[in-house]
Amino acid sequence: MSSDFEVVWCGEGWRSLVNECHDELVARFPDYRFYGIKQKWGVLAFQARPRAGDSTDEERALVDRLTGRYQTASEAVCEWCGRPGSLRSEDAEWLTLCNTCAEDMKTTKYPSSRLIM
């Protein structure tokens, strides 16, 4: 596990996705520029650029493809606990949760499930 991200601004359930995405980016772009990680419309948004300075359209497209794969992967992983989940909406809030966490959210402030990792 990468120690680069002691803190991520998304659910802990996505931590391994974030680490894998980071490792893949580093393998291709050792000096890649990190902008942020957040949950956007219920899915993982890993924002990065090939490097701080100039980059080609091709390189940016590759970064987008790579981070896009993890965004897609996050649609099937509970953001809270890391178990298999699905994208759900409640009013205007979009969240990717497993059934247990989604049930918990109806009655408690936050899910009681612990992280599986």
Q: Which member of 81, 95, 96, 104 binds Zn ion (CB under 5 A)?
A: 81
Q: Which stretch binds Zn ion (CB under 5 A): 22-30, 48-56, 67-75, 82-90?
A: 82-90
Q: How far is the CB of 83 from Zn ion (least distance, A)?
A: 5
C-beta of 17 vs 101, nearer to Zn ion = 101
Give CA–CA dist 58/18, Å, rounded: 23
Does residue 80 belong to the site contacting Zn ion (CB under 5 A)? Answer: yes
C-alpha to C-alpha distance for 78 and 72, rounded to whole angstroms: 13
Interhelix angle 57-74/15-28, rounded to 10 degrees, is 160
Stretch that binds Zn ion, among 28-36, 46-54, 60-68, 81-89 (CB under 5 A): 81-89
98 sits near Zn ion (criterion: CB under 5 A): yes
Q: Contact residues for Zn ion (CB under 5 A)?
A: 78, 80-81, 83, 98, 101, 113
